[in-house]
Structure 1
Amino acid sequence: MAKAKKHLYPSGIVGNCSFIAHIGTDTNVSWMCWPRFDSSFIFGSLLDRQKGGTFSVLPDGKFTSRQYYVENTNILCTEIDCKDGKYRITDFAPRFYLFERYFKPLMLIRKIEPLSGNPRVKVSCKPVTEYGEEVLRAAPASNHIEYFGAASTIRLTTNFSINHILDEHHAVLNETKYLVLTYGTPLEAPLKSTVEDFYTRTKDYWQQWIKKTSIGNVYQDSVIRSALVLKIHQYEDTGAIIAASTTSLPEYPGSGRTWDYRYCWLRDAYYTLQAFNHIGHFEEMERYFNFIANISVKEEGRYQPLYSVTGEKYLKEIEIPLKGYLGNQPVRIGNQASEHIQNDVYGQVLISLLPLYTDERFVFEERTDSSSWISSVLKMIETVIDEEDAGLWEFRDISGYFCYTYLFQWAGCQAAIRIAQRIRDKKLERWAGRLSKKAADRIEACYDPERKVYQQAINSSYMDASTLQLIMMHYLDPASDKAKDHLKAVESVLSAPGGLFYRYKHEDDFGKPEATFLITAFWHVEALACVGRVEEARERFEQLLGYTNHLGLLSEDVEASTGSQWGNFPQAYSHVGLMNAAYRIAMKLDRPNFL
């Protein structure tokens, strides 16, 4: 029987904290949403080759390609080798400091340079909107093409022949050409000098950003790429960080697990803030703090598990008529998980905001007058601590009293105690202490003394990778036998070959999960390091580095039998997991900083 082929996503991303574009090894912009991360795609062939539009620069005939990033940047190069010669496409989204703020326009720049021979290229630019239901109307002008039909005008400014683009004719590439696609405000400046200036400034910005990053001297290359990926998943206007820039890439072929990840999950705030803190980037943390604080102050009822990048609550999930990635349907926009009851989120908010009160590097205007809204979050915990929820894995038709939920309620109350001490509120401190004890009692109700393991939920025999966090959150002393026994018991059920790890192995609303979940594999690495199994942690971490694509980008899920990438891509939280695991190993090796 032939071995199944390994599936990897053949693309890279560029972005500037306003948008993200996916560029394939075939030169095509296969996914790009404007004007926001969660807007309709302008190019979306990733989900439907017929309705998704196109933006490619292809040679005449067959070709091979090579893709790489300019060192320590989010600038992507694609080199094309064809029968007539060789050329390079450099793709980037401008980002640099200008007039005391960041310049980050809705502008995708493509620079096309001949490298050898006389390659003949064809530019195809066909943007769409309304998720492919409307093809934009192209109108030629002297040095640009305007596309009408979107909420704002889209313009392609270029020194290519306008007619060659409109007619999709091949032409000899005998000099450097430029393609500048804009939404709203067009580029009205000298083309060549402006693009070259934007390129230099953008390259300098990213390389300086990395120079200011504190990264341990183990696994530096991987952490640098992960940091760059995570950075452009932050929607800078509000500070929100999305899980991924894509929707409906399946967790496993034919699984029906096709979700829209273009939103901000409060549940993951703690891990993301950890990652930024570990690399010493406080600006991104402050922006994310502001996003969470704005939601916390205005939220009168329950917290949702996720919000839009602008804090909107209404994220109705619908299915749309697209063919789907490799035919996988349904294609979904919106996310029903926004309606779920996930009661760990209140603790996540409290521990995420803790540094505002305990770290003097942050200036927080509301720090001295926060008893009321800290009390409101504790009141929410008190209200929900006795109820079932959907858990962090967002079960749609399963509810329970999950260990992970109680862990973060416990951790949130521990954070509230520290905040109360800082703002000298004894009443708040005592209240948080009582709730912390109640949450800890519920965690202990998940413990099976015969198997020496904390189970997924009260009155449940299932194993769950999320319980590894009991060790990393120091609910369990990592040096204790109880922590070590718990880790071994979870490993015995959920560990997979090649360093991979399952979330859980029982059936859920969609059947039994087929793919492993990358962030849980990185949690396992952290847990190994915590309990002193450092060499095992390093071995497994290095195995996990083998599941990137050709550019070092990670997916959400990996098929254990083939090492195939699945799920939305690239997955910001997989890269968060990599960064936190690398930091944990570096600390155990007593080498947290590069020397």
Structure 2
Amino acid sequence: MSTSSTSSIDTPGNDTSTGVSNDGDRPSTSSLDLGVIGNCSYSALIDKLGRIVWCCLPRFDGDPVFNALLDPGESGSLWSFELENFSHSEQWYEPNTAVLKTRLYDTLGQGVEITDFAPRFPSRGRFFRPQTLVRRVLPLNGAPRLRVLLRPRFDWGRELPKITRGSNHVRYVGTEMTLRLNTDAPISYLLDETAFVVSRPFNFLLGPDETLTGGIGDTARSFEQETVTYWRNWSRSLATPLEWQGA
């Protein structure tokens, strides 16, 4: 699956999308032009607007907790960051990794950068590959306003989870599964789906119902650095023909 309509996806600025209106409405149809992240435990599909539209947990053949790829309407489930007065987006992979970058810009040129990845790296003599989605949002310039829509569903879309909250986490409780979001973003704005100013980096870790042993920001940064290092070391071991290295 490609994240670009051109031959290269390794640098920003090579692909743009204007797939939603400025009021943040969902597209009425799904696109198959998607990026993929994964760590050999699970995978997720992300469209050019930075929306997670498909993800099965806790395994590849598990419950599709995000299913907007097949159900793009209001009854579908997704995880999106919606920029007020959205204008266009760019998307690419961090070179030689499975770490996906998406930039959203508004009509004033203000923007945010979303980093999406599934942690995978060696730790304590084995591979650490948790069933955790990590999303990091960084402001690029100005004072962009962002709305977070985190709407998982369980039991193949039939069950809406019960929601409980703490000071830095939200729990999505289902009959057979519970997900926990650990975040340093404002919880009340997230639950109310209200836009807020992105004045600093925000981190989101969605996974099993477990507390983090470290700080949210420190954990997200460490996971990203370790994951990038793993994928680049892995890429060096590939015997990829020269003509395919930019694909």
Q: Say whether 1:45 aligns with 2:68.
A: yes
Which of the pair has more CA radius of gyration? 1
1:34 aligns to what? 57
Q: Say whether 1:155 aligns with 2:180.
A: yes
2:36 aligns to what? 13
Q: Which residue, out of 79, 103, 112, partners 2:103? A: 79
Residue deviations 1:281-331 (CA, integer Å, cap 9, x gap): xxxxxxxxxxxxxxxxxxxxxxxxxxxxxxxxxxxxxxxxxxxxxxxxxxx
Runs of 4+ in 1 over 4 A off after TM superposition: none
Deviation (angstroms), 1:8: 6.2
**CA–CA distance in 2 between the matches of 1:157 and 1:188?**
11
CA contact 1:42–1:129 (8 Å) conserved in 2: yes
**CA–CA distance in 2 between the matches of 1:188 and 1:53?**
29
Deviation (angstroms), 1:217: 2.9
3-state SS of 2:246 partner:
helix
**CA–CA distance in 1 between the matches of 2:212 and 2:169?**
10
CA contact 2:54–2:78 (8 Å) conserved in 1: no
**CA–CA distance in 1 between the matches of 2:49 and 2:113?**
12
Deviation (angstroms), 1:13: 0.7
Deviation (angstroms), 1:196: 0.7
| TM-score w.r.t. length of structure 2 | 0.83
3-state SS of 1:131 partner:
coil
1:58 aligns to what? 82
Unpaired stretches in structure 1, ≥5 consecutive residues = 1-6, 223-595
Q: Which residue, out of 199, 209, 213, partners 2:224? A: 199
Deviation (angstroms), 1:188: 3.6
Residue deviations 1:165-219 (CA, integer Å, cap 9, x gap): 1100000000000111012444342111111111000000000000011223332
1:211 aligns to what? 236
**CA–CA distance in 2 between the matches of 1:217 and 1:12?**
23
1:96 aligns to what? 121
State the AA in 2 paired with 1:211: R
5 Å matches for 1:273-312?
A: none
1:133 aligns to what? 158
**Two-structure CA RMSD over aligned residues (Å):** 1.5
1:22 aligns to what? 45
State the AA in 2 paired with 1:101: R
**CA–CA distance in 2 between the matches of 1:186 and 1:136?**
19
Aligned residues: 216
State the AA in 1 paired with 2:221: E
1:344 aligns to what? none
Residue deviations 1:117-138 (CA, integer Å, cap 9, x gap): 1100001111101111001111
**CA–CA distance in 1 between the matches of 2:244 and 2:77?**
38
CA contact 1:52–1:131 (8 Å) conserved in 2: no
Q: Which residue, out of 139, 159, 171, partners 2:196? A: 171
Deviation (angstroms), 1:97: 0.2
Relative contact order, higher structure (CA 8 A, sep 6+) = 2
State the AA in 2 paired with 1:214: A
| TM-score w.r.t. length of structure 1 | 0.35
Residue deviations 1:218-274 (CA, integer Å, cap 9, x gap): 32233xxxxxxxxxxxxxxxxxxxxxxxxxxxxxxxxxxxxxxxxxxxxxxxxxxxx
Unpaired stretches in structure 2, ≥5 consecutive residues = 1-29
